[in-house]
Each structure stands twice: as structure tokens, then as C-alpha cells.
């Protein structure tokens, strides 16, 4: 079975400050990991993914994420947050081998509020 935990329901940060959104995962094999963002009344937009290779992955809109196998984490980061980054962020995982049909399991989401 595969699962994802996003321990924070909401993260508040001042504009210009670093932003971190936490994610831990559980899979029986090696993971494929993803971050998505959802703006109000919109669908999910793909931000970045970790499949293999470098543990630091760079994605859209200045976001990056660090894969840490020993801590089974994949935290999303942005060095300097913008008000427009305020949205709902989802971490997702699939088992590299065992996820039939490319099944993704999503975390519960973290709402990010960036204040001016």
C-alpha cells in the first residue's frame, strides 16, 4: 500500500520569506513523488516530480523539492514566497513497481497563505 502525509493543514508565511510545505510518504518499493498546486475553483497543476537521480528537484514557478529517502520525505520549498503562491498544495506518491494503472495517492493538502 502507498500513503502520503502532509502534517500541516495550513502554512502561513510573509511575502519574501522562505516557504516550506512538508510531505512524508510510505511505499513498499521505491517511490515516484509529485507536487501539485490547486488555486481556488481550479484543477490541480503539476509543479514537479522526483523519479530518480538528483535528490533536489526543480519545478515550476521557482519551487523545488528535496527527496530524502532515509526520512521518507519530499518537502516542497521556495526561497522567497509571493502572495500569488497562496493556494492548496498536494503531495502525491506512486509505487515505482506496484502501482497498477499509474495510481497516485494524494496527501490531504496543505493550504499556504502568503501575507503581504
Partner 1 sequence: DTAVSQTPKYLVTQMGNDKSIKCEQNLGHDTMYWYKQDSKKFLKIMFSYNNKELIINETVPNRFSPKSPDKAHLNLHINSLELGDSAVYFCASSQRGAYEQYFGPGTRLTVT
**Which residues bind to partner 1, rule: CB under 8 A?**
32, 34, 36, 38, 41-46, 49, 51, 88, 90, 94, 100-106, 108-109
| CB of residue 101 to partner 1, shortest distance in Å | 3
In the bound complex, what is the minimum distance in angstroms from residue 80's beta carbon to partner 1? 25
Cell of 13: 508565511
State residue 9 phi and psi, 5-degree precision.
-70, -35
Hunting for cell 510518504 — which residue is that?
25
**Where are the strands (E) in 39-101, listed by range?**
44-50, 56-58, 64-68, 73-78, 87-95
The minimum distance between CB 96 and partner 1, in angstroms, equals: 9
Place of cell 502520503: 4
Please identify, using beta-carbon distances, which residue of 31 and 114 lies nearer to partner 1.
31
Judged by CB, which is closer to partner 1: 78, or 94?
94
Amino acid at each position: 500500500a502507498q500513503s502520503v502525509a502532509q502534517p500541516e493543514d495550513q502554512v502561513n508565511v510573509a511575502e519574501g520569506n522562505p516557504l516550506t510545505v512538508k510531505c512524508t510518504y510510505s511505499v513498499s518499493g521505491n517511490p515516484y513523488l509529485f507536487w501539485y498546486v490547486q488555486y481556488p475553483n481550479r484543477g490541480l497543476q503539476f509543479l514537479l516530480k522526483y523519479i530518480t537521480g538528483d535528490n533536489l528537484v526543480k519545478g515550476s514557478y521557482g519551487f523545488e523539492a528535496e527527496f530524502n529517502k532515509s526520512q521518507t520525505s519530499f518537502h516542497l520549498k521556495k526561497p522567497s514566497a509571493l502572495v500569488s503562491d497562496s493556494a492548496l498544495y498536494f503531495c502525491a506518491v506512486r509505487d515505482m513497481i506496484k502501482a497498477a494503472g499509474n495510481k497516485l495517492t494524494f496527501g490531504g493538502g496543505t493550504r499556504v497563505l502568503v501575507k503581504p
